[in-house]
Amino acid sequence: MAFLPFSPLTIIAVALAATLISPSQSLTCTSQKFANNKLYDRCSDLPHLTSYLHWSYNSGKKTLSIGFIAPPAKPDGWISWAINPTGTGMAGSQSLVAFKDSKGVMTVKTYNISSYSSIVASKLSFEVSDMSAESSGGNMMIFATVALPGDLGTTFNQVWQVGPAVVNGGPGRHDFQPENLNAKGTLDLQRGESNSGGGDSRMKKKNIHGILNAVSWGILFPIGAIVARYLRVFKSADPAWFYLHASCQVSAYAIGVAGWGTGLKLGSESKGVTYSSHRNIGIALFCLATVQIFALFLRPKKDHKYRYYWNIYHHGLGYSILVLGIINVFKGLDILDPSKKWKSAYVIVLAALGVIALLLEVITWVVVLRRKSSKSTKPYT
């Protein structure tokens, strides 16, 4: 067996280092703190526009204190959070809108939006107090206490939005991308839950995309590489190792293509949101893996003069896919931002594969060295 300078163990270690060196850019509501030291009982990561809602509900007084956080579409844009007692969209919503005034000071204004064509500052259908706004780290924040109407109930429709510009002292037109149009849902004060009608199905698609790609690029491909590198050393495993290796890689490719397809679908539905590096690595993975799979049909026989060069190409491309796949799984986890246990579970899986690769590396080297030693000491007859 001719050993290459890189093993799956080395590749896994490099990929882990590359993902752990760069800090995650993701953020959740539970990690957020306010400069004014405001504290809330509940918080929710809203499914669109990278927005977050913190709230406390006083059932006795029937008041709702909220802290809404979102990045404006542009630095001089605006953000908005609203209750809609009559519908699910913007029309009819009782809105709190925050932006920088002409002096660059953050301010909050109320808008009773009776229709899409009439957006002027006005009183809401319920009382609002303690209104304030802040801007920090690229985000804008709205703080307020709302006196909920008696007929509203504890579950109602909420709408949130961001816009790119302030026009004539008020919010300008926002984008009409899927992310903007789906920025609505319900707030259940009794259960402490914030739900989005469009967000549930979209989150399922994201989860499916993540699972497919983690299993394919992040687990099956490394297993296939370990099988090919180590099991072929044992003569008793030939040709079983090859069929096992090919099965792992073809299965990984099929699952990966399905995951890649769901990613394209998610991207087409969210034109306003782009994860450039994750997308570009995904496209590169698909292209490299496709070339790798079709290379099986051009595989020369063991004694062919071009087999040596084919091996260099095949191994080099395979290890490239291995590195990029693991890195992109971590990037996807940062974007999806699931519970920490899922990222920890994947790190444990990689660590387990690394330990297995290390043990097999030692065992196979021992086998190879013993074979060489037995050949060199074999008496001539």
Q: What is the pLDDT of residue 77?
A: 93
Q: What mean pLDDT comes out for the span 156-180?
A: 87
Residue 2 reports pLDDT greater than 50:
no
Query: What Å distances lie between residue 30 and 54, 66, 102, 188, CA to CA?
Result: 9, 15, 33, 18
Residue 287 reports pLDDT greater than 90:
yes
Of 130, 148, 128, 158, the C-alpha closest to 60 is 148
Q: What mean pLDDT comes out for the span 339-363?
A: 90
Percent of the chain with pLDDT over 90: 31
Residue 190 reports pLDDT greater than 90:
no
Residue 298 reports pLDDT greater than 50:
yes
Q: What mean pLDDT comes out for the span 290-305?
A: 84
Q: What mean pLDDT comes out for the span 11-32?
A: 54
**299-343 per-position pLDDT tens digit:** 888 888 888 888 888 889 989 999 999 999 999 888 777 777 888
Residue 280 reports pLDDT greater than 60:
yes
Q: What is the pLDDT of residue 109?
A: 92
Query: For residues 367 and 30, which has the higher predicted lDDT (pLDDT)?
Result: 367
User: Was 304 annotated as part of a binding site?
Assistant: no
Q: How confident is the model at residue 119 (pLDDT cuts 50, 70, 90)?
A: confident
Q: What is the pLDDT of residue 22?
A: 40
Query: What Å distances lie between residue 352 and 82, 318, 359, CA to CA?
Result: 48, 20, 11
Q: What is the pLDDT of residue 5?
A: 46
Give the contacts of 343 (CB within 8 A, at least 6 positions apart). Answer: 330, 333
Residue 14 reports pLDDT greater than 60:
no
d(CA 111, CA 100): 16
What pTM, to 2 d.p., does this model score? 0.52
Q: What is the pLDDT of residue 25?
A: 39
**42-70 per-position pLDDT tens digit:** 888 888 888 999 999 998 889 999 999 99
Residue 130 reports pLDDT greater than 50:
yes
Residue 311's Cβ-side half-sphere holds a number of Cα atoms within 13 Å equal to 14
Mean pLDDT for all residues in the chain: 83
Q: What is the pLDDT of residue 26?
A: 43
Residue 377 reports pLDDT greater than 70:
no
User: Was 245 annotated as part of a binding site?
Assistant: yes
Q: What is the pLDDT of residue 228?
A: 87
End-to-end CA distance of the chain: 26
